[in-house]
Amino acid sequence: MISLPAGTAQAFQITPQTTKTLTNIQVYVDASSTATGLRTAIYTSSSTGHPYALWGGAGISTVLKAGAWNSITLSPLSLSAGKSYWIVILGTGGTLNLRGQPGTGTNLTETSASTTLTSLPNGWTTGSVSTGGPESVYGANY
């Protein structure tokens, strides 16, 4: 399980194999979560392979369903084939618990350096880096 205290964001790297248009993010929120809201957005990737800058598609869910998939609508974004991006999520109002296996697999994930975020920052500062997977976060409606 991935447990994110309110104020800490998590980034999940994605690299589409073909050019796609992203219109929503699906997040499975574990039944043990106490978060009441969720913010999500897409970040570009830096030349060193870390989240870099808020690119777009910011979405907000003010009502989370624990123990269920939650769909967060984004402004449509065109993702280029073979280019890395980051889905970033931030729980609000409590701890956000996601299904995943930290430290296993090859999917890159990072936490924010800040633990007091109330919104997603324009620029990303890395806290910790790990691998994990499969995560309960993905882009949909390509």
pTM above 0.75, yes or no: yes
Edge to edge, what strands does the sheet with 51-61 contain? 51-61, 37-45, 85-92, 9-14, 102-112, 126-132
Enter the tokens of residue 108: 């890159």
pLDDT digits (tens, 9 = 90+) for 34-66: 999 999 999 999 999 999 999 987 778 777 899
Fold classification of 2-140 is: Jelly Rolls (2.60.120)
Q: What is the pLDDT of residue 103?
A: 56
